[in-house]
Structure 1
């Protein structure tokens, strides 16, 4: 039965500073002997929904002899009159209505005993601790274990009879106390000296109340959802220890921002990538990414700190994919600042073919991340390592340019390489790489050593210039290796350096000194073999051996024999070839297959022969022994054997 409109309530306690609307109603209800605050509202002719966000409070204000506006200040009314508004007033600020606990009591038992009322700030979900007493807020009765509903008769007593002031609460973490204290301060509550707000990242303490609450709610929705997200509805239903645990974890993240946030994103990726057959932001970060960049948040500018930290993570830490140029959700410059770039883009950045760059990666010359997603493979390269590779590569030259530095033709230059005088970085006899690669500085250092202390001037008419010196030395059975070793060993003096020439062609010699050097020739029969004799020692056909000589895989020299210049193979060059290369035919016998099939399988896996029918029209396939000794090549060869055995 409604109360008499003309007769005010018998007892009309005044609201306390910081008191919550429902706590105040319960206190009024108890003072006037009503069963619960809902009964009181109905008796006064107020809608039950008035306690939430809408409806008139005039009957209640009149019964309490208060101005309606003073009650409106306690109630969480809509912040605007527009349709669909979800922001409500809370203290001196506004928050999203899902951030408020409206249907049950939350409390600090010590504050309840000391102050005698329920504080409004306790109803804000991210506030999980009492900074004054350093304890967690409670939502359940210690007597019956049930949530403490507002639908009860006594302010301090649960319907089960337990006195809420006698409950015991657990100590709160420093982080959750710091977050609660900052939120209380933004609501106009006095700050307590127990909690340290410095535990919270400064970027968050500077936010307005609504923004700070939005950040905590959003992170809380994903803090245990493994990237799928709990959503506002699930978050609104979290009760007791579950809700407190979520926001304590959020407080820890805000205290160690952005490091702890990056760890949370790593957790998303670990769970999002399990069994995945696709890559990208939506696969790895799931609904977190979609929600963060939804129109709701992008157009309003909310969650700016989360978006900024997320894009920093993508730029500096994410290794799970690349950002497409058409992605307009992210910052405009993020695509060009991402730490890891895909193979094709990396190749464009250093003006290199993607296939060649991939071969460099497979050979271990540049570190990369290789992500296998089912039948697909994504190769990602760190920008810093790519730039270091580019700078190093700019100092590299191939065989053609290396010869130009020393001013030598192909055959004598490769003789210097095999003798270890001209040092190669990569090549067929070093690591099985099909192309010789040299460092410019190494070649220039060799040339500088040869010309060290040599005066620069034009040669005189009696001097022996470089090309003539080579012809004389070759005729007398001396190769380029003997020639250069004599210069480096100071057994042959370079008389001067011609400024008009390039490389070693700058060298010219005193005729008496050079002829004295050249007269010390060795009988070629003691240290060389004919090509046919070399073929017999190697167990190869003469035509195959001639091709190997022409390809400079077998080192040769030109010697004077009976007044004619003939092609000879040094005996040490034969031993050098045997230790550096192996014919595919020999491997085929060892692994029970044909040489053509073995070569095809190895080439499919990027292991290219140094010569053969498909390489340089050679008669037989030969492979570098050092390349085949690598782990991947050994596994491929064993795989051939196992397939043959199974068949």
Structure 2
């Protein structure tokens, strides 16, 4: 069976409009005349026809091919709303037809229901039909007549519901062709938006770039699929209205119709034509002048966010997920890259650092202060010194006062500083290179004979640092005028090494810096055993040293102390004093008395030597402060043999213990308590406990198991291992 009077569908005509024109042409009285020809079930919305059986029957009735009939339904727009990889699944997912169809779950989002109508009164007046694009929620204007579509009856002010057969409002009966219209011909942004959307719905799923729109060559619209465009226009407008409602893109002067700001935060299904048009126009202006308008918008949002409400980057990540949004996230990261030297983006730095770890991110890596300190093998406190000195490139701290302000550090600057630090020497390494103790190195720095890169006397940092060049330059300056002479026959009573000369001259208060100054000035005759840079090759004739000693003694008369007075000051027994003399830790001076034999002459001690001894060999109280423990614990450790004492009650019966200050400080430096190890590694107590149980870090076994102490070298080794995991 077929109809007598057949018609050809108009461009963009909907199935409802075509069937209504066929009804009038064939003089059917029933509005739904085609129900008698179609098998059940018949869809309520004939514009969403799905069954192939219905298409075949209508094709036989009207003489129009099933493919042409399908073009009158909303399914013709499916390629513009779905990604290309998803279209293949839509063909076989619904119905038995051979064309891609809408998912039922998506029709309510993008398509008006059959009970709600939206029309162009001028189109209906001339063609007496309805067009398929009117059913799309994002289509808000007529491309042909350049007017806004109407979705509200101007007479009864209700949502428009049209009686199809009469072309009037179903509620008040006002004819559709008499509805007033709003022109967009004098509003360029609305015209451009209309051109954009009407072109997009016919573009399919391929990247959309209309030639008629003037946009920059780098605009993301050139590579954006239409489904991405539609989502971005509406979802982006919702997001910006919630975070920056006063953005200039929402200004009434840039919109066709003043924006009613009450009830803005509604869904696409709830919005009317005017609101949708305004929001899409605003987003088109944002997209048209991309990325300048986008960066301006981010500046405005960042300026209003604080640590407690810094959610915009997270909202971007949540609302725009998937590979099709890489261009948006890359643009946000590009904005952050050029703004990291300002304090405006401080609340977003954490999100920026997380985003950098995602694959395919081509921006310079940023590190936290803890990560940077681990890579450099220094403490976070020392890291702050490098930041303050400009050695590391960092983000700017916040302008307001924060309880815990922090920065991100460029990984490349950390790498460069690490390479520079490899040419630097620690205090221990500098002492080994110089051939002296660490205390003497500090004394040389204080005397100006050695230049340090950093340290307590240089920039206030707690860690000493020296360059190899500074060590060599200092030694060269000290030794360049010292003649080379072969050592006669090793060190004897007539030929002295540096250690013996230091001990001898220390009795009159001459320390290493003063001694080297005498060598450099030529006051004290000195020789080098070989042409090598280092203090270990120096030697002296004993006569020259004693002559220098006598010259200083004559110039300054020291205070002499008897043996009993020295024992009282040192709180030791005479036998202990004899032991100190035999080990040359204290050097007595024999009183010249010709009436007595040489071995019976009275011995006295220079008060300066005794004071120097007391400074170097410290008591229990001072040792307790260095070790950060109680004096009782120091005594217990000395009795247990954990600490090596020079003298004491359990050693020689002396009243007090005395310890070598240098050795004690070195002993303490090489050990870390459990709490110190936690701070050094920057981990939690549970993590360190687990590492100990796993055998990654073994406590020292000389502390009797009461406390867990760790070797510094073991902790440093574990830190380097954990950093490279």
* TM-score, L = length of structure 1: 0.55
Matches within 5 A, 1:269-348: 274=308, 289=317, 303=325, 305=327, 319-320=349-350, 331=358, 339-342=365-368, 345-346=371-372, 348=374
Matches within 5 A, 1:35-434: 47-54=43-50, 56=54, 64-77=62-75, 79-83=90-94, 97=107, 100-103=110-113, 138=149, 159=176, 161-164=178-181, 170-172=187-189, 176=193, 180=197, 183=200, 186-187=203-204, 194-198=212-216, 201-202=219-220, 204-210=221-227, 212-213=229-230, 219=236, 222-225=239-242, 234-248=267-281, 250-251=283-284, 252-253=286-287, 256=290, 260=294, 267=301, 274=308, 289=317, 303=325, 305=327, 319-320=349-350, 331=358, 339-342=365-368, 345-346=371-372, 348-351=374-377, 356-357=379-380, 360-361=383-384, 382-424=410-452, 427-428=455-456
**Matched residues in 1 for 2:481 and 2:144: separation?**
86
Structure 1 residue 172: Cα displacement: 0.5
Matches within 5 A, 1:5-20: 8=4, 12=7, 14-16=9-11, 19-20=12-13
Residues 368 and 409 in structure 2, CA contact (< 8 A), matched pair in contact too: yes
**Matched residues in 2 for 1:250 and 1:564: separation?**
93
User: Matched residue of 1:319: which SS?
Assistant: helix
Structure 1 residue 361: Cα displacement: 4.0
**Matched residues in 1 for 2:149 and 2:94: separation?**
35
User: Matched residue of 2:308: which SS?
Assistant: coil
**Matched residues in 1 for 2:496 and 2:122: separation?**
106
Structure 1 residue 488: Cα displacement: 6.8
Matches within 5 A, 1:615-630: 615=628
Q: Partner of 2:21 in structure 1?
A: 28
User: Matched residue of 1:567: which SS?
Assistant: helix
Structure 1 residue 618: Cα displacement: 8.9
Change (3 A) 1:130 1:165: closer
Change (3 A) 1:123 1:83: closer
Structure 1 residue 201: Cα displacement: 2.7
Residues 450 and 474 in structure 2, CA contact (< 8 A), matched pair in contact too: no
Residues 131 and 192 in structure 1, CA contact (< 8 A), matched pair in contact too: no
Residues 140 and 240 in structure 1, CA contact (< 8 A), matched pair in contact too: yes
User: Matched residue of 2:268: which SS?
Assistant: helix
**Matched residues in 1 for 2:527 and 2:301: separation?**
71
Residue by residue, what CA displacement relative to the aligned partner does 1:68-116 show, whole Å, maximum 9, x if unpaired? 321212312374241599x99599xxx9646744356778999999999
Structure 1's unaligned 5+ residue stretches are 277-282, 532-541, 544-557, 571-608, 620-647
Q: Partner of 1:280 in structure 2?
A: none
**Matched residues in 1 for 2:404 and 2:236: separation?**
33
* TM-score, L = length of structure 2: 0.50
2:608 to 537, 562, 567: 567
Change (3 A) 1:234 1:440: same
Change (3 A) 1:426 1:24: same
> Larger relative contact order (C-alpha < 8 A, sep ≥ 6)?
1
Structure 1 residue 437: Cα displacement: 1.2
Which of 1 and 2 has greater Rg? 2
Instruction: Say how many residue pairs are matched.
Output: 520
Change (3 A) 1:220 1:142: same
**Matched residues in 1 for 2:292 and 2:556: separation?**
76
Residues 453 and 465 in structure 2, CA contact (< 8 A), matched pair in contact too: yes
